[in-house]
Amino acid sequence: MDLPLGETAPLNPLHPYAYSKVAAEALALELARRDGLPLVVTRSFNHTGPGQRPVFVVPALARRVNLVRLGKAHAVAAGNLDVRRDISDVRDVVRAYRLQLERIATRGSALGPMVVNVASGQSVSIDAIAETLCRIAGVNPPITSDPALARPGDAPRSAATTGCFGS
């Protein structure tokens, strides 16, 4: 797979969830073309922010770093530390959605159906995220890789060509 991914990159779903997203996108685009409807399909890359559940990597790491800060742990465990993700702040992602809705409201069906990446345009390793969280918390524990936390079949890297936080 060539990275970073642009909006016109071929889609290559590798698991049922990805297939369902590709199918839903194709159906939406086809109906919009057929009926002349304005449509912006957003391909949102990873995002994080306040209130996100700790089943996701950034809040899970933040929780483990906090345990070190509180003296309840001596190390921060993560899955594959070399995995790289294009991660945005959820507030920026919501802003991007709003801007796309405003684009549709002002341009209507003249806009035509389109696909837009919503991403930061930068890729960061899980290890770097953990290090940043440790620095913010004022701790310097070892950051270890725990195979039990790794996701099998996880792509080693994701990145978008650009972030779309405007029109």
**pLDDT the model gives residue 25:** 96
Decide: 81 and 131 in contact? Cβ < 8 Å: no
> Rounded to whole angstroms, how far apart are CA atoms 141 and 71?
11
Decide: 82 and 143 in contact? Cβ < 8 Å: no
What's the pLDDT tens digit per position in 60-88?
999 999 999 999 999 999 999 999 999 99
Closest CA to 79 of 146, 153, 152: 146
What's the pLDDT tens digit per position in 28-59?
999 999 999 999 999 999 999 999 999 999 99
For 37-75, b/e burial (b = at least 16 CB within 10 A) is: ebbbbbbbbbbbeeeeeeeebbbbbbebbebbbeeebee
Decide: 81 and 150 in contact? Cβ < 8 Å: no
What's the pLDDT tens digit per position in 110-129?
878 999 999 998 899 999 99
> Rounded to whole angstroms, how far apart are CA atoms 149 and 32?
41
- 151 or 95, which is more confident? 95
> Rounded to whole angstroms, how far apart are CA atoms 104 and 108?
5
Residue 4 preceded by cis peptide, ω within 30: yes
Spell out the domains of the chain, with CATH numbers in brackets: 16-149 (3.40.50.720)
Rounded alpha-carbon distances, angstroms, from residue 58 to 31, 49, 54, 127: 36, 9, 8, 11
